[in-house]
């Protein structure tokens, strides 16, 4: 596996639990703490050159996400937090089991309640407090409604899928060179139970 892109600054070195997976193209700088079973995706940027950045156990931070914060602050993704592709977290706290949708932005001192979902491309303004177990969406983000049990279960299943991805990456992901042609009988990655929420709802209708 390629060497991780991990950098100390002012003598402060990032911490990565051995059971976590950090893609080699992600960048970790300074005061970064990655907990057990976490997943950090390709091209994620965790810049702990001002404030402290923490991923608690089982959290995931997907491709091209950014974490940063002002000096003296903690930017935290609590246990089993789920941060979708391209999201930006700046000096905020993401509650246990919460999901941040793709390209959402969560600003300084904002708090996302336990098991809530922030919709894709939402903008959560500074110091906004999102209650537990609700859906928020929009620019600026507003509470839309409480989450259903089905939606919270779907989120939990998705996070478990990323925790399994952590284990798959640690066990089987290797740098390689591409083939020059598609081989006969090329296999697929089979994950029939992992579907978008809209498809899950359609199955139940």
From the list 166, 173, 178, the residue with the least C-alpha distance to 2 is 173
pTM, two decimal places: 0.94
> Do residues 125 and 107 touch, judged by C-beta distance below 8 A?
yes
Burial class (CB in 10 A: 0-12, 13-18, 19+), 200: middle
Give the C-alpha distances (Å, rounded to integers) separating 147 from 77, 131, 151. 20, 11, 6
**Residue 127, SS3 per DSSP:** coil
Which helix (H) or strand (E) segment is 77 a member of? strand 74-77
The whole-angstrom distance between residue 149's C-alpha and the CA centroid of its chain comes to: 22
Tokens read off for 125: 């303004």
Residue range 23-54, pLDDT digits in tens = 999 999 999 999 999 999 999 999 999 999 99
**Per-residue model confidence (pLDDT) at position 194:** 83
**Per-residue model confidence (pLDDT) at position 205:** 57
* pLDDT (average), residues 190-203: 79
> Do residues 112 and 98 touch, judged by C-beta distance below 8 A?
yes
Confidence grade of residue 102 (pLDDT, cut at 50, 70, 90): very high
Return the domain boundaries, the chain.
Answer: 5-146
Query: Which residues are CB-contacts of 106 (< 8 A; sequence separation ≥ 6)?
Result: 87, 88, 89, 90, 92, 94, 100, 112, 118, 124
* pLDDT (average), residues 70-74: 98
> Do residues 71 and 59 touch, judged by C-beta distance below 8 A?
no
Confidence grade of residue 203 (pLDDT, cut at 50, 70, 90): confident
**Per-residue model confidence (pLDDT) at position 204:** 67
Whether the predicted pLDDT of 2 surpasses 90: no
**Which homologous superfamily is 5-146 in?**
Hexapeptide repeat proteins (2.160.10.10)
Residue range 111-144, pLDDT digits in tens = 999 999 999 999 999 999 999 999 999 999 999 9
Q: Of 69-83, 143-157, 182-196, where does mean pLDDT reach its minimum?
A: 182-196
From the list 124, 119, 117, the residue with the least C-alpha distance to 89 is 124
First CA to last CA distance, the chain = 45
CA pair distance 40, 172, nearest whole angstrom = 16
Whether the predicted pLDDT of 1 surpasses 60: no
Which helix (H) or strand (E) segment is 7 a member of? strand 5-7
- Number of Cβ within 10 Å of residue 71's Cβ equals 9
């Amino acid at each position: 596996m390629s060497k991780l892109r991990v950098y100390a600054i002012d003598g402060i070195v990032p911490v990565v639990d051995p059971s976590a997976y950090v893609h080699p193209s992600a960048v970790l700088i300074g005061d970064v703490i990655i907990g057990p079973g976490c997943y950090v995706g390709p091209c994620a940027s965790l810049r702990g050159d001002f404030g402290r950045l923490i991923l608690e156990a089982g959290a995931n931070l997907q491709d091209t996400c950014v974490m940063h914060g002002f000096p003296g602050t903690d930017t935290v993704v609590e246990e089993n937090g789920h941060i979708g592709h391209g999201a930006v977290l700046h000096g905020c706290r993401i509650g246990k089991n919460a999901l941040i949708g793709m390209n959402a932005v969560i600003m300084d001192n904002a708090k996302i309640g336990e098991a809530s979902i922030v919709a894709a491309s939402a903008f959560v303004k500074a110091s906004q407090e999102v209650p537990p177990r609700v859906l928020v969406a929009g620019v600026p983000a507003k509470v839309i409604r409480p989450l259903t049990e089905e939606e919270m279960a779907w989120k939990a299943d998705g996070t478990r899928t990323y925790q399994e991805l952590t284990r798959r990456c640690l066990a089987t992901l290797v740098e390689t060179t591409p083939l020059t042609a598609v081989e006969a009988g090329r296999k697929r990655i089979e994950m029939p139970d992992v579907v978008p929420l809209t498809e899950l709802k359609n199955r139940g209708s």
